[in-house]
Structure 1
C-alpha cells in the first residue's frame, strides 16, 4: 500500500480524534510521519497512547504502528496495531491488512491469516456505494496473501482452496496462473 493511502487512513483517524477533543497530538504525529520525521512522530503518538480517552489512545497506537511500519520495525508495528485494535480503534480493512502484513514480516503466519480473514470479512460486508475500487484492490491483495500464508505453513489443501476462491473472485488476474500450477503439484 502506498504511503499516501496509509497516511490518508491515519489522517482520517486524526480527524476523528480531533473531533473528539484529543487536541493536536495525533495531528502533530501525523504531520511528522508524513514528513519522515519518525522520532517526532513516535514521541507525539506515544503521548497520545497515554490519553485517558480510549479513542485517542487507540489513534496513538495506530500512529505508532504506522511509524514503526515505515521504519520496517514490523514486530513493534504489529504490537502497536494489535494494541490499537484492542483499545477499540475503528476496525478497517486497511488496519487489518497492515496488521497482517506485519505479522507476515515477522513470520507469524497464523496471526497474519487471522487478520487477513478479518479484513476480508469487512470488505465483503460492504455493498453498493460503500464499495470502492480501492476496497476491491485491497480485497484482492488480502486474498492473495491468504494463499501465501497457507503456503508458508505448508497447508496445501487450504492454499488450493484459497487459490480457487481468488480465481473465482478475480478471474481477470492471469498473474497467478504459475502459482495455481505450483499448488496443483502439492
Structure 2
C-alpha cells in the first residue's frame, strides 16, 4: 500500500494526524504530483480548515490544470463557506475536465438550490439521480427540485421512490402530504402528515400541516 492509500485509510479511521503524516510524505516524495495535494486538501476540508484547503487544491491545479478532482475539492471548499457562485465555477470546471460522478452533479445542483435558481438546479440533480439510483439524499433532493419546478406528478413519483429506498423517510412523507394538498386531496394529505409524525413525532412542518388541515375540517 502506497503512502497516499495509507493516508486515505487513516482518514477513514479518523486518525487525522496520521493521515496528514502520510500525505506530507507523499508530497515530499513526489512534489510534482497533484494527488498528494488533493488528498491533503480533502483532509483540511474535513477539518474545516478552509483557507489552507483552498491553498492545497490550488497547488494541485498548478501541478496539473486538468486535475478534475482538485476543482471538485476547491468547489466543496467554497460551498462549505456558502460562496455558491465560486463553488459553481469549480464544479463546472471539474465536469468539463471529465469528472462525471453523481456527487459533482449533485453539488452543482445544490449551489443553484441555495440561490433559489430552481430551474437551473433541476438538470444537474436529475443527472446525479440517474448516475446513483441508490443514494437517498440525491433522490430526495431531485424530488424536491421537481416540486420546486411545479412538476408535481413526477415529484410524487420521486418521493415514492425515496420511500422504496428508505421506508422511514419522514421528509418524503411530509412532501407527499404537501403534494396531496396541492392536488386538493385533503384526506390523503392528512394521512401522509400522520405517517411523517409516526416516524418523527417532532417533525414540526408535518405537525403544522396536520393542524391546519384539522382546523380547516373543524371550521
Report the TM-score, using the length of structure 2 for normalisation: 0.59
Q: Partner of 1:75 in structure 2?
A: 85
Structure 2 Cα separation of the partners of residues 101 and 110 of structure 1: 12
Partners in 2 of 1:167 and 1:39 — Cα distance? 38
> Quick check: 1:65–1:80 contact (8 Å CA) kept in 2?
yes
Sort the Cα spacing of 1:165 and 1:23 in 2 relative to 1 into closer, same or farther, 3 A: closer
Q: Does 1:121 find its partner at 2:130?
A: yes
Specify the alignment match of 1:174 in structure 2. 173
Match of 1:4 in 2: none
| 1:13-92 map, 5 Å | 21-52=33-64, 54=66, 57-89=67-99, 91-92=100-101
Gap change, CA 1:183 and 1:147, over 3 Å in 2:
farther
Structure 1 unaligned runs (5+)? 1-6, 9-14, 125-134, 151-155
What secondary structure sits across from 2:34 in the alignment? coil
Cα distance in 1 for partners of 2:143, 2:42 equals 30
Listed one character per residue, the Cα deviations across residues 71-116 of structure 1 (whole Å, up to 9, x for unaligned) are: 1111111111111111112x22222111111111123222210101
Quote the Cα distance in structure 1 between the aligned partners of 2:115 and 2:175. Answer: 24
Q: Which string of whole-angstrom CA distances, capped at 9 and with x for unpartnered residues, describes residues 12-60 of structure 1? A: xxx9xx9xx5342112211221222111111111122233362xx2111
Partner of 2:141: 142
Q: Which has the higher contact order (CA 8 A, sep 6+)?
A: 1
C-alpha separation in 2, matches of 1:58 and 1:85: 7
1:112, 1:149 within 8 Å by CA — same for their partners in 2?
no
The ranges of structure 1 where at least 4 consecutive aligned residues each deviate by more than 4 angstroms after the TM superposition are: none
TM-score by length of 1: 0.69
Which of structures 1 and 2 has the bigger CA Rg?
2
Q: Secondary structure at the match of 1:115?
A: helix
